[in-house]
Chain A
Amino acid sequence: MDRRFPFKVLEHIFSFVDSNEDRNSVSLVCKSWFETERRTRKRVFVGNCYAVSPLKVARRFPKMRSLTLKGKPHFADYNLVPDGWGGYAWPWIEAMAARRPFLEEIRLKRMVVTDECLEKIAASFRDFKTLVLTSCEGFSTDGIAAIASTCRKLRDLELRECIVDDLGGDWLSYFPETSTSLVSLDFSCLDSEVKLSDLERLLSRSPNLKSLKLNRSVTLDVLESLLRRAPQLVELGTGSFSDELDPEEIAKLTKALSELKQLKSLSGLWDLLPEYIPLLYSLCPRLTSLNLSYATVQMPDLIDLLSRCSKLQKLWVMDLIEDKGLKTVALCCKELRELRVFPSGADLDETDVTLTEQGLVSVSEGCPKLESVLYFCVQFTNAALVSIAKNRPNFRCFRLCVMEPFAPDYRTQQPLDEGFKAIVERCKDLRRLSVSGLLTDKAFEYIGVHAKKLRMLSIAFAGDSDLMLHHLLSGCQSLKKLEIRDCPFGDTALLENAAKLETMRSLWMSSCFVSFGACKQLSQKMPRLNVEVIDEHPPKTRPDSSPVERIYIYRTVAGPRLDTPEFVWTIHKSPEVGVSRLSIR
């Protein structure tokens, strides 16, 4: 049978399969489907950069145009992973540069990216279009200059919350005068000032620019001149919003803002002064996304702003919004899908801020499309959780952070087990959950029984025993990422459910009571897991029974990684290798 016929047909059919999960399933059907799929996959996603070798990925997908990688464990965001842990982008960039020169897009999250990496990208990929770095570090503005100057077809350059060695604002001047392709530019995480004239000229020659996120050093008095040159913006992140402007400047800025007819997303707004809020009114009716989480604006001023945002779908705000503000949101923002309320850093015991569980209850009542929540609050009640679950069974992402560890329901003094039970019982589509407050093993029994679609779970200061881990590993069928800190379980549940770990992307456990001995056993039992211990002392100096402070376990087909720093130890697979050679470096 002529194999080209099925191939062409298959290829055509597969071109409609976008989701990588589906493509992964497709490639398991048979060899020819695997071959066809791999030759047609354009967007490659690797959720753990150590799960597979860069070389293998480069070879497998010859038509790769876009690569997305994630490096460090999520808890690295909260300083639980020491510097130097790993997550280096270089091996990937190198491999792709050598084999896939037509790569156009690179998106990296929580990885270490050096200037060498950036220069390599600039030099190797002729049609390079998109660079998005989220929570990355290790590079300087020189690297960015290299990208700006060399990538002729650059469309997207986004630095989101990166730690950058900021050597000055010159990098912006490296965009050649001939470059007109820019679609999105985000340099909000940089500190130093860019030259206004460079920015103005760049904007003037970038008619396709849809998203612009300035850094804080761009002052309010120059904003008008920038906006005038980019009235087509769909997303705007302002710089600092606090300079003193004279009435004429205010009028000009108000006009410039009102000219942004396409604007849907607004962020930045650092140091937003209450008296400038009315300048934003003209934008509100069209806004679908508003990020006020860096604006320390207090309550009454927020109401006027929010009540005008009837189309809002995404709202990020600080707890300064208080219950009253959230009531307004519930009344006015009927399209709301995602809400994040961050702590403003007020002392826990001296807070002037009245944000309670009631705020979230109001929003869950009033916003029928709400499906994603991140909520920081000092304390909570079961009754509130039950109400929220009843009101909004369509949650896909529910992250509640009760900031006081072990805080029970403050009205009944009961653990919050029943509250979270309601959430997992009713929200059948729940994909991501973060729990907090006082929780017993029961809570995790409920989660194990009900949260069948749950993919990611974050736990801190909870549970009583090994049962909690057992419930989760044996119950949550779809669990892919589990991260736990400061919980009192030990070895039993982990070893009993070892097989589960290969179905997951990763498991992080810190400050729990898992012993070295268990890590060894687990590693020997499960050949395709890397069991990594983060500890400054060599494991050989510890007895098997001693607890390990931080353990990161992940499935991999690449074997133990070769770039571990001296405080990370991959537990050896072979049982006959004694304690003295417990690690591979």
Chain B
Amino acid sequence: MSGEEELQSNVSVASSSPTSNCCVSGGLKEHNYLGLSDSSSSSVGSSTLSGLDDKAAISLKATELTLGLPGSRSPDEKPFFPLVPSKDEVSLKNGNKRAFSDAMDKSESSVYTEKDWMFPQGVVANQSVMKKEVTQNIPKGQGSATTNSSSPPAAKAQIVGWPPVRSYRKNTLATTCKNSDEVDGKPGSATALFVKVSMDGAPYLRKVDLRSYTNYMELSSDLEKMFTTFTLGQCGSNGAAGKDKLCETKLKDLLNGKDYVLTYEDKDGDWMLVGDVPWEMFIDVCKKLKIMKGCDAIGLAPRAMEKSKMRA
């Protein structure tokens, strides 16, 4: 259990800006999720974090997020070695995306955990602990919208090579969908770029034109305006136990929109925190937006995690 405690204590000493929890070896990386990344990185020792150091530089290459072994591929989904017992959780999957997106979606490992398949005893303790933690935090509400059954929510296709669609097709479609989004906006020109915005618990989706903003602040304030009416309805309407308590006591925060996290789905289908990449790049890759509760989002807002820990 020591590994888990260590992890949490690291979280509590983080600075006021939100921190992303990246891997079990305890290294943390700070960044603002509605602004640009901090130029200082707090990577610790582990070689798996070295790729994150480059994030600070605002360049095309730098914004290719890699989370895996040094020298491993850029995010065109080619995991080098998805599974070695001593490696951390994240590299189990399509390890080139940030921990947030991995943790957000039903990962391969949590799929295992559901069926009680833990790895054979020989595995490093850290590993199993990380799995458990991830499992607890996966919001059960995710992905249950369309499944009629009461069975566990759908894995959101963050497993390597699943669903089994050839990369060629995936890549082609990614470009196709982008093109048709643009065409939908205004025929014959790319002046409008509409993306859907959904919010956990909101009764319907909205659409925003990304090109009508010039930076993240504008986007976020507009979204706040759009979705404030829903926040009051949030508390108590959520099914999962434990969250209700949290929401009631943080009503003020809800209204201010501070306990919500803005995320987006990129061309590869992965969910990322908004704000990490330069604005121009962001509107190029963003396919959809989603406003999630801070407590739903793992490894995000340490304030939320901190608060939830304190209340627990």
Residues of A whose CB lies within 8 Å of any CB of B are 75, 77-80, 82-83, 135, 161, 163, 189, 242, 244, 270-271, 273, 293-294, 296, 342-345, 347-351, 376, 378-379, 401, 403-408, 410-411, 413, 458, 460-461, 485-486, 488, 511, 513, 535-537, 543, 545-547, 549, 567
How many Å lie between the Cα of A537 and that of B83 in the bound state?
Answer: 11
Q: Is B145 an interface residue (CB 8 A)?
A: yes
A523 to chain B, nearest CB (A): 21
B120 contacts A350, CB within 8 Å?
Answer: no
- Known pairs A135-B166, A345-B173, A349-B153 / 18 extra A-B pairs, C-beta < 8 Å: A77-B166, A78-B161, A78-B162, A78-B167, A79-B94, A161-B166, A244-B187, A271-B179, A271-B180, A294-B172, A342-B165, A343-B163, A376-B165, A403-B157, A406-B111, A410-B149, A486-B112, A488-B115
Residues of B141-158 contacting chain A, CB below 8 A: 142-157
The 5 closest A-B pairs by CB, nearest first: A78-B161, A349-B143, A404-B154, A549-B83, A161-B168
Max count, chain A CB within 10 A of own CB: residue among B79, B150, B159, B163: B163
- Determine the chain A residues whose CB is within 8 A of the CB of B279 once the complex forms: none
B78 contacts A549, CB within 8 Å?
Answer: no
Please give me the residue from chain B that is nearest to A461 by CB atom. B111
A403 to chain B, nearest CB (A): 5
Q: Is B5 an interface residue (CB 8 A)?
A: no
A79 contacts B77, CB within 8 Å?
Answer: yes
How many Å lie between the Cα of A273 and that of B156 in the bound state?
Answer: 29
- Determine the chain B residues whose CB is within 8 A of the CB of A343 once the complex forms: 163, 165
Residues of B whose CB lies within 8 Å of any CB of A are 69, 73, 77-85, 94, 108, 111-112, 114-115, 117, 119-120, 122, 142-157, 159-170, 172-174, 176-177, 179-180, 183, 187-188, 198, 265, 269, 288
B176 to chain A, nearest CB (A): 5
B123 to chain A, nearest CB (A): 8
Query: Of A83, A342, A344, A376, which is within 8 A of B78 by CB?
Result: A83
Q: A344-B173, A348-B146 are in contact. Are A189 and B168 (CB under 8 A)?
A: yes
- Determine the chain A residues whose CB is within 8 A of the CB of B265 once the complex forms: 347
How many Å lie between the Cα of A567 and that of B71 in the bound state?
Answer: 14
Q: A342-B165, A460-B162 are in contact. Are A349 and B144 (CB under 8 A)?
A: yes
A382 to chain B, nearest CB (A): 13
- Determine the chain B residues whose CB is within 8 A of the CB of A273 once the complex forms: 183
A349 contacts B164, CB within 8 Å?
Answer: no
A349 contacts B142, CB within 8 Å?
Answer: yes
A483 to chain B, nearest CB (A): 10
B111 contacts A403, CB within 8 Å?
Answer: no
B176 contacts A294, CB within 8 Å?
Answer: yes
Query: Of A78, A408, A485, which is within 8 A of B166 by CB?
Result: A78
How many Å lie between the Cα of A78 and that of B142 in the bound state?
Answer: 25
B157 contacts A296, CB within 8 Å?
Answer: no
B147 contacts A379, CB within 8 Å?
Answer: yes
A186 to chain B, nearest CB (A): 13
